[in-house]
């Protein structure tokens, strides 16, 4: 029954309440199951959830079964009991749940994936194949307590159990509710899809698609968190269960990406009027292929047989029908262009997107950039080479159509010009689906207008799966000038070669590759495609004929299904680079070089160093990301002379040292090599750091514009003034002000930069930090302590999820217990109570007892007996749970770069610098004097050894001052909540080494000493007050109270005055 035939019942309709009264009466009276069934069936029909002909009683759960389901409504099994569980609650009897689960499994085995409901009229439980343990929370269960609230039962059945057709509006909340991770229907469909995948993982076509998908994902995202794939068999054997777990996570992601692409494809088809529910009954495979969409609209390239069409190969058609019924509940005819992106965000949760490094540009920013750069949309060609979810291409399409609407152009002219005007590329296999959907939905007014005017609106959607950096095959060598070769990477080292001249004829090449694939699939002669597409040049024919033979061999081995799609897309950037555009716009990847896929890292570094000369290296090596290279490469490859580019970049692009060479605007590694020259002064860059809330990217961002100059021109640097945006995110009335920027790479250094050292990397914290506990034994062995792992709010996965029983209530020799200061134990001028850590050395040791053969790198003979056992346990935990890419043993982690050993050396012989000052590595600068020589410093702090207390107080005054904070802020890297990483940046300020005869230095030291003494007194009073109130004095409170006092006290003002004077003089 269609949505139009169903009565539109409302919550105040008395018939619903009357039907609910009867259900609850029969439940209360303990009526027979058949009577409860009758009452529920009446409720379903009266409230318009089903028609009589959509309900069947006592039907078998599967063909040939002798069992019978009490009631089947639409596609849902409903099983009735007089009581599903205890008389007082809704917890169901396991036997009843197993009965319903068995019915659902029988149906699923024959290809029909259903929902199931177990009920006694009052308690309702939702089940599906593979649902797992019973969950009694909404939306997995429902309890009808009050017949006057019958409409809530109606909604629960409608939305979760029955998927009743209804013209829902596709807003973000409704999409999340029906297609997101919290939806039982989503969980059912994912479980069914995963079962299909796991049953067919050895199928050759699926293995090829899965491998290519993973390779492209690594290119797009770098070494993602679960990236143990691709390692050799020997390492797999050593890793054991960990390798299996990581592979499983990637398999799960592949399944979810398949689900997403299927839903997105159905949505696009429905938005153009395709009856997907009818199509699901007549040709479910076409839901993933889009043949009817092409026949009805002329559109192709929206849906294709790509990585995610594999359900058609493994009997997934019933599941596709189920998905289609859910999609058909919505009215997609007015679906917004960002619908696909919304779907993605509901299926891949925020935490996982952060883990994968996936952040999509908000529409308001893309719209502002399009308006800024695309000032003649009807005559400019626009390319987004990292189009992601399609935000920029959708905004550019909308911008073009709006401009075309003012010209009086014929609809077909609008559509044909639009096809050339806006193009997207992305190497992320799912992002391409999102972007194609975004382009298509945004272009819908032009497509519909052309069709309504009687024109053939045929066009290929110009969004391509491709490597915009062109790293995956040679495009510059002598051979590559004529031929592009793609490696299949099979046992036969198969290559697919394509004439470059043919690739550059994009429409012909698309048509040819589609025909070759179709002919091979049907068993026809694929060489006829050469005549069909008028490939007359003998050289072109010869090359393609060899490729056709290779594709036939791949088909014979079950590997052909994907290659036509893959090659046609992957070579497209080459064609685009030979037909350059007027505007390049977008948001490139921000991943660091050391996070990029290892198969591409060397080539990325080569381009950065030897092609464009923008590699900073040195101390900036670990901070350098590929965004600057992507900017330079996009200008070089795709932008015509005098063309313009605008990219969203990390805020560090405006001033950080790792971008210094890039900001020159002159990119050439060698004097004789080719150069790329840009004018960064073409438009002022946008500084977006002060927008609120600044959560649209993981770190503050900027937008940088440039105009491409000819090779013989001189580039103009990004320097001077930028345009800072102030106000609320997305608001029309955002204020803009001009501010200066500082090139931090060009700033000098204080002598203290060389004296500043980072503390030891005492992580994972739960393996080292402990809290003393009472020993349950009558007598405590001397001298020992009994400890539990310290559990902190900042502990990271997987360590925070470990079973720590083996190191809980453990008794260990006290000489291995050390006081440790971290960022959380430091406040201005003072230290709080240090934490305790068990370390593989003893109090007074001058060095760590190491051994290459020892567990975790430690010579066990250097430890006391109890500590030996603990060290072996935590070392084993480390090896079993560390990141696959981490090659360090536990000592290597603990003493990374000698950060623990250097402290032991100082403790053994402090030389002429016997006093230590520590300061925080992030946030507002905070420093304190360390009173005890034996205390260990954690990596969240830096430490400086000083000659005497005067020098220490001099540094304390500087670091704790507001004057220094304001001066260093422009030099610091930015986090999501502003300038965060202090590290060694403060020593870029003109802070001279303490001179005991310099008058101003003495004044600062004395002011620091006074402030430190008074701060200690105030801390003591604070601690006394909190103890009296039986409250814990946290570091946040201590810092807040002391900073407030410093800003209003004579002592604080004396520090600020003296520090400001010295900074101004420098």
Over the stretch 976-1005, which tens digit does the pLDDT of each residue have?
A: 444 456 665 788 888 999 999 999 999 999
Lowest mean pLDDT among 527-541, 595-609, 623-637, 756-770: 595-609
Q: Are strands 817-821 and 936-937 parallel, antiparallel or unpaired?
A: parallel
Q: Indicate whether 237 pLDDT > 70.
A: no
State residue 620's pLDDT score: 58
SS3 of the chain: helix, strand, coil, percent, to 5: 50, 15, 35
Q: Indicate whether 243 pLDDT > 60.
A: no
State residue 225's pLDDT score: 41
Q: Please, is 240 exposed, middle or buried when counting C-beta atoms within 10 Å of its C-beta (0-12, 13-18, 19+)?
A: exposed
CA 420 to chain centre: 31
State residue 769's pLDDT score: 96
**Percent share of the chain, pLDDT over 70:** 90
State residue 1066's pLDDT score: 61
State residue 975's pLDDT score: 47
State residue 223's pLDDT score: 56
Query: To which residue do tokens 């600068």 refer?
Result: 925
Q: Are strands 915-920 and 941-946 parallel, antiparallel or unpaired?
A: antiparallel
State residue 477's pLDDT score: 47
- Contacts of residue 996, defined as CB under 8 A and 6 or more positions apart, other chains included, come to 950, 1002
Most confident of 130-144, 361-375, 543-557: 361-375
pLDDT category at 1 given cuts 50, 70, 90 is very low
State residue 558's pLDDT score: 64
Q: Indicate whether 66 pLDDT > 70.
A: yes
CB 573 within 8 A of CB 470: yes
Q: Is residue 557 helix, strand or coil? A: coil
State residue 26's pLDDT score: 95
| DSSP 8-state class, residue 229 | T
Cα R_g (the chain), whole angstroms: 34
String of DSSP letters for 854-907: SGGGB-GGGS-HHHHHHHHHHHHHHHHHS-TT----HHHHHTGGGTTHHHHHHH
pLDDT category at 597 given cuts 50, 70, 90 is low
String of DSSP letters for 906-961: HHH--TT--EEEEEESBSS--EEEE--TT-EEBTTEEEEEESSHHHHHHHHHHHH-
Going by C-alpha positions, the residue among 115, 189, 200 that lies closest to residue 158 is 115
pLDDT category at 241 given cuts 50, 70, 90 is very low
Q: Reduce the secondary structure of 317-381 to three states and give it as a string.
A: HHHHHHHHHHHCCECCCCCCCCHHHHHHHHHCCHHHHHHHCCCCCCHHHHHHHHHHHCCCCCCCC
State residue 387's pLDDT score: 93
Most confident of 430-434, 545-549, 1049-1053: 1049-1053
Going by C-alpha positions, the residue among 750, 232, 212, 303 that lies closest to residue 487 is 212
CB 396 within 8 A of CB 376: no
Q: Are strands 55-59 and 69-73 parallel, antiparallel or unpaired?
A: antiparallel
State residue 222's pLDDT score: 64
CATH code for the domain defined by 3-166? 3.90.1570
Q: Rounded CA gap, 6 and 328, in Å? A: 15
Going by C-alpha positions, the residue among 436, 489, 431 that lies closest to residue 212 is 489
Lowest mean pLDDT among 513-517, 551-555, 593-597, 1046-1050: 593-597
- Contacts of residue 275, defined as CB under 8 A and 6 or more positions apart, other chains included, come to 328
Average pLDDT of the residues in 762-784: 84
Q: What is the pTM of this model?
A: 0.74
Q: Rounded CA gap, 19 and 148, in Å? A: 10
Q: Indicate whether 598 pLDDT > 80.
A: no
Q: Rounded CA gap, 574 and 786, in Å? A: 66
String of DSSP letters for 135-177: --STTTEEE---GGGHHHHHHHIIIIIS-----B---HHHHHH
CB 632 within 8 A of CB 670: no
State residue 657's pLDDT score: 77
State residue 556's pLDDT score: 77
For CATH 3.90.1570, list the domain ranges present in the chain. 3-166
Most confident of 3-7, 84-88, 645-649, 790-794: 645-649
Q: Which helix (H) or strand (E) holds 695?
A: none
State residue 371's pLDDT score: 96
Lowest mean pLDDT among 478-487, 804-813, 931-940, 986-995: 478-487
Which two structure tokens, joined as six digits, stand for 362?
């908000």
Length of the chain: 1066
Per-residue model confidence as pLDDT tens digits over 445-491? 999 898 888 887 778 889 998 888 877 555 554 445 678 888 776 77
115 bridge partner residues: 76
pLDDT category at 527 given cuts 50, 70, 90 is very high
State residue 618's pLDDT score: 63
CB 504 within 8 A of CB 512: no
Q: From residue 580, how far is each of 576, 646, 648, 669 by CA, in Å?
A: 6, 16, 21, 23
Q: What is the mean pLDDT of the chain?
A: 86
Lowest mean pLDDT among 303-307, 602-606, 615-619, 794-798: 615-619
Helix axis angle for 184-199 and 317-327, nearest 10°, is 160
Average pLDDT of the residues in 558-575: 74
Which two structure tokens, joined as six digits, stand for 836?
């305790």
Q: Indicate whether 930 pLDDT > 60.
A: yes
CB 404 within 8 A of CB 446: yes
State residue 501's pLDDT score: 86
- Contacts of residue 864, defined as CB under 8 A and 6 or more positions apart, other chains included, come to 812, 813, 815, 816, 842
CB atoms near residue 98 (< 10 Å): 11
Q: Indicate whether 869 pLDDT > 90.
A: yes
pLDDT category at 294 given cuts 50, 70, 90 is confident
Helix axis angle for 1035-1048 and 999-1028, nearest 10°, is 130
């Amino acid at each position: 029954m269609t949505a139009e035939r169903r009565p539109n019942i409302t919550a105040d309709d008395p018939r619903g309440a009357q039907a609910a009264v009867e259900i609850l009466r029969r439940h209360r009276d303990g009526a027979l199951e058949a009577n409860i069934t009758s009452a529920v069936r009446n409720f379903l029909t009266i409230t318009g959830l089903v028609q009589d002909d959509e309900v069947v009683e006592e039907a078998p759960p599967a063909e040939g079964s002798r069992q019978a389901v009490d009631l089947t409504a639409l596609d849902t099994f409903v099983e009735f009991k007089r009581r599903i569980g205890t008389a007082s609650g809704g917890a169901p009897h396991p036997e009843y749940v197993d009965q319903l689960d068995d019915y659902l499994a029988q149906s699923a085995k024959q290809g029909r994936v259903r929902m199931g409901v177990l009920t006694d009229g009052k308690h309702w439980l939702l089940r599906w194949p593979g649902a797992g343990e019973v969950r009694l929370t909404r939306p997995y269960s429902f309890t009808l307590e009050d017949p006057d609230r019958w409409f809530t039962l109606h909604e629960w059945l409608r939305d979760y159990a029955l998927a009743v057709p209804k013209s829902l509006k596709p807003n973000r909340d409704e999409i999340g509710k029906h297609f997101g991770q919290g939806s039982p229907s989503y969980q059912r469909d994912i479980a069914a899809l995963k079962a299909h995948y796991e049953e067919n993982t050895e199928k050759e076509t699926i293995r090829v698609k899965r491998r290519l998908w993973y390779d492209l994902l690594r290119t797009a995202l770098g070494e993602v968190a679960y990236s143990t794939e691709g390692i050799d068999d020997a390492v797999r054997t050593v890793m054991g269960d960990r390798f299996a777990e990581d592979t499983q996570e990637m398999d799960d992601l592949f399944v979810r990406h398949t689900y997403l692409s299927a839903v997105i494809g159905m949505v696009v088809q429905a938005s153009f009027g395709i009856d997907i529910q009818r199509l699901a009954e007549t040709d479910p495979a076409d839901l993933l292929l889009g043949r009817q969409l092409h026949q009805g609209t002329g559109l192709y390239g929206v849906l294709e047989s790509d990585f995610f069409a594999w359900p058609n190969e493994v009997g997934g058609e019933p599941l596709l029908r189920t998905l289609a019924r859910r999609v058909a509940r919505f009215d997609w005819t007015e679906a917004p262009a960002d619908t696909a992106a919304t779907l993605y965000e509901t299926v891949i949760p925020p935490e996982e997107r952060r883990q994968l490094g996936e952040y999509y540009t908000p529409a308001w920013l893309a719209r502002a950039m399009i308006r800024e750069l695309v000032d003649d949309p009807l005559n400019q060609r626009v390319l987004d080479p990292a189009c992601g979810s399609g935000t920029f291409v959708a905004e550019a399409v909308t911008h073009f159509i709006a401009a075309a609407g003012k010209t009086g152009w014929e609809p077909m002219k609008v559509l044909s010009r639009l096809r050339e005007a806006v193009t997207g590329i992305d190497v992320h296999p799912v992002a391409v689906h999102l972007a194609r959907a975004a382009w298509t939905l945004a272009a819908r007014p032009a497509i519909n207008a052309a069709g309504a005017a009687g024109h053939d609106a045929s066009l290929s959607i110009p969004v391509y799966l491709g490597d915009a950096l062109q790293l995956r095959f040679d495009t510059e060598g002598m051979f590559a000038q004529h031929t592009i070769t793609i490696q299949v990477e099979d046992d036969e080292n198969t290559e697919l070669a394509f004439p470059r001249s043919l690739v550059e004829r994009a429409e012909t090449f698309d048509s040819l590759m589609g025909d070759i694939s179709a002919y091979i699939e049907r068993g026809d002669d694929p060489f006829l495609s050469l005549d069909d597409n008028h490939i007359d040049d003998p050289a072109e024919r010869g090359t393609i004929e060899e490729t056709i033979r290779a594709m036939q061999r791949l088909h014979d081995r079950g590997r052909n299904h994907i290659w036509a799609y893959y090659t046609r897309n992957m070579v497209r950037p080459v064609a685009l680079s030979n037909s350059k555009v007027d505007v390049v716009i977008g948001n490139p990847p921000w991943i660091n070089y050391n996070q990029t896929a290892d198969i591409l890292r060397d080539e990325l570094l080569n381009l950065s160093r030897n092609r464009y000369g923008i590699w900073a290296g040195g101390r900036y090596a670990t901070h350098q990301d590929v965004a600057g290279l992507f900017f330079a490469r996009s200008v070089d490859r795709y932008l015509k002379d005098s063309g313009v580019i605008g990219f969203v970049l990390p805020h560090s692009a405006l001033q950080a040292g790792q971008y210094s060479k890039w900001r020159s605007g002159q990119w050439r590694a060698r004097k004789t090599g080719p150069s790329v020259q840009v004018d960064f002064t073409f438009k002022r860059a946008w500084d977006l750091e002060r927008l609120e809330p600044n959560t649209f990217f993981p770190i503050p961002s900027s937008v940088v514009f440039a105009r491409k100059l000819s090779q013989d021109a001189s580039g103009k640097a990004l320097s001077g003034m930028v345009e800072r945006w102030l106000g609320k995110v997305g608001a029309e009335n955002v204020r803009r002000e001009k501010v200066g920027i500082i090139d931090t790479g060009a700033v000098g250094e204080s002598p203290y930069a060389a004296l500043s050292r980072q503390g030891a990397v005492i992580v994972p914290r739960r393996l080292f930090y402990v809290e003393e506990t009472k020993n349950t034994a009558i007598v405590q062995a001397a001298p020992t302590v009994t400890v539990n792992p310290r559990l902190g709010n900042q502990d990271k996965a997987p360590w925070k999820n470990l079973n720590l029983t083996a190191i809980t209530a453990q008794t260990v020799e006290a000489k291995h217990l050390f006081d440790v200061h971290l960022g959380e134990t430091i406040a201005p001028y003072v230290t709080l109570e240090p934490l305790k850590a068990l370390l593989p050395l003893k109090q007074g040791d001058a060095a760590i007892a190491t051994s290459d053969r020892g567990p975790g790198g430690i010579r066990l003979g250097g430890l006391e007996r109890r500590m030996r056992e603990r060290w072996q346990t935590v070392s084993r935990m480390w090896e079993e749970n560390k990141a696959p890419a981490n090659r360090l043993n536990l000592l290597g982690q603990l003493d990374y770069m000698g950060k623990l050993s250097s402290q032991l050396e100082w403790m053994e012989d402090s030389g002429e610098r016997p006093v230590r000052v520590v300061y925080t590595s992030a946030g507002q600068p905070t420093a304190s004097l360390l009173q005890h020589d034996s205390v260990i410093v954690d990596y969240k702090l830096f430490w400086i050894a000083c000659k005497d207390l005067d020098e220490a107080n001099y540094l304390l005054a500087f670091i704790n001052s507001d004057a220094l904070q304001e001066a260093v802020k422009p030099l610091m890297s930015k986090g999501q909540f502003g300038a965060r990483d202090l590290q060694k940046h403060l020593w870029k300020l003109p802070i001279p080494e303490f001179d005991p005869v310099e008058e101003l230095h003495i004044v600062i030291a004395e002011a620091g000493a006074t402030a430190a003494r008074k701060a200690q007194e105030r801390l003591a009073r604070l601690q006394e007050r909190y103890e009296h109130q039986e409250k814990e004095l946290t570091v946040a409170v201590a810092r807040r109270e002391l900073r407030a006092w410093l800003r209003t006290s004579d002592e604080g003002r004396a520090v600020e005055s003296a520090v400001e004077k010295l900074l101004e003089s420098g």
